Amino acid sequence: MARTPLFPAFGNVAAWAHQFSMRTERDYARLYPKSGTVSLSATATNTVIDINVTPQSRIVLQPITSQAAALMATIWVAGKSDGSFTIAGTVSASCVFDYLVLPPPPP
């Protein structure tokens, strides 16, 4: 994405203000925890797509169904990348989890 100039070009203040606010909103959105719900299928791995995930994010899983609660000891977050994470382990059908994406810790 192209950088938004610090000062607007003459005559284009509205477009500059819109670009600046959108960029600021996008940049600061990663500072707050985001949540979602995922229903896992009975496969070895399940990939969850979420634009808030980065390789440095922390993922917290909370079981919603009784089947999911019984499997908490057998699943884990196997990998994280920009925009997705993978849940691996033994999963049966109708396992539903809430997840929380915590932002990376400050440097």
Six-digit token pair at 16? 């500059």
User: What is the identity of the amino acid at 87?
Assistant: I
Give average pLDDT by consecutive 10-residue segment, the chain, 107 residues.
Answer: 60 76 71 87 87 90 92 92 92 87 79
pLDDT of residue 60: 95
pTM: 0.69
Strand order of the β-sheet with 34-40 is 34-40, 95-102, 58-63
pLDDT of residue 90: 83
pLDDT of residue 22: 76
Mapped onto helix, strand or coil, the DSSP state of residue 72 is helix
Q: What angle do CA 1, 21, 4 make, to 5 degrees?
A: 40
CA distance 96 to 37: 7
